Chains A and B, each alone.
Chain A
Amino acid sequence: MRFEFRALPSASGGALTPRPVVDIALEGLDVAPVACLLDTGALRTRMSAEFAPLAGIELTGGLTEDFFVGGVKTSGELARVTLTVTDGADEFSWDAPVWFCDPWPHPFGLAGLEGFLHHFVVTISAYDGYLEVAPGPGLQGS
């Protein structure tokens, strides 16, 4: 599956530097896959806690951790959820640990090692502005 780098408009005109982004659907929220910044340096996969109730995920009494992202202190709660990526032709789903974070002022989620990168072979071509995602040996498509 190929994902073009995502560019956003700049306030001063033109565009911000395009970034590697993968759209990941939470089970229960497949009408709106969450754009996640590919973060090869991150151990966790993190998203806004706002998405959890929208997907019907109850965050009650799970493992929590506090941490800083971009200078903002936030608190994340762990939930195991089924995630899906698709390019419209191929589709892959897997069970993953996701940390739902509050506050989360960032525009994208973060796709890190646990939860995303461990399941895929990811090739980044920043020169051409795209990334390719192929399932790892343990992941079956549908």
Chain B
Amino acid sequence: MPTMTVLGRQYDLEARRVEAALQGALPEPIHEHFMVINGRRWPPKQVLALVTGLDRADFTTHQARRALTRLGFTAGRAVASRARHPQTSSAAAPPSPRPSGTGHPAMPVTEALRPFIGLWVAVRGDDVLVAAPSPAEVVAWLAKHQQRAQSMFRVVDSEQAITGAAPQ
């Protein structure tokens, strides 16, 4: 089992424990580095703080990233909001979407939404900023993190769920 030593104390880390610790939590905004866990992008320090209970000031992003990578999670780096290049890829990592507003159709963006079927999402350009069970939670997250979305909607997975809103 991989371990991590912080301030002289050793922490045992396990992938399943990490995944379980993130259940019910919402990822904070990605500034540069992120980890792909449970099909979503997470700031490395947020993940490690949730798993270990450590204060984020006690470790660096690179320490967190290294520890989580050793557990088998995919690490990525948001170079820019419209030009992102994950360093590695895995089945859990949604492919980097193509910038919106050019060409057609927007399939990569669609794939980025796939992990969030059934949830409300706030998106901005290429990025899914947050996904949550209700619009209230989405808006609360945006307010808390001083983020502004381009669009908010619920991700459905059937034609019927969309055409149901159109005139019959």
- List residues of chain A with CB under 8 Å of any chain B CB: 2, 4-11, 15-19, 21, 23, 29-35, 37, 39, 41-42, 48, 50-51, 54, 68-72, 88, 105-108, 110, 128-130
Contacts and interface: CB of A to CB of B under 8 A. Distances in A.
Interface of B: 100-101, 104-107, 109-111, 113-114, 117, 122, 134-136, 138-139, 142-143, 147-159, 161-168
Contacts of A106: 154, 161-162, 164-165
A30 to B, nearest CB: 8
Given A15-B107, A129-B105, A31 B164 contact: no
A71 B163 CA distance: 11
A18 B106 contact: yes
Contacts of B157: 8-11, 16
A17 B159 CA distance: 7
A35 B163 CA distance: 15
Contacts of A21: 151, 153
25 contacts: A5-B104, A5-B105, A6-B153, A8-B157, A8-B162, A15-B105, A15-B110, A16-B157, A16-B159, A19-B162, A21-B151, A31-B142, A32-B135, A33-B149, A34-B151, A37-B162, A37-B166, A39-B165, A50-B134, A50-B136, A106-B162, A106-B164, A107-B156, A128-B104, A130-B104
Contacts of A18: 105-106
- Main secondary structure on A side of the interface with B: loop
A4 B150 CA distance: 13
Given A4-B104, A37-B166, 8 more contacts: A8-B155, A9-B110, A31-B147, A50-B134, A51-B135, A105-B164, A107-B153, A108-B154
B164 A70 contact: yes
Contacts of A4: 100-101, 104, 106
B168 to A, nearest CB: 6
Given A70-B165, A72-B164, A107-B165, A31 B149 contact: yes
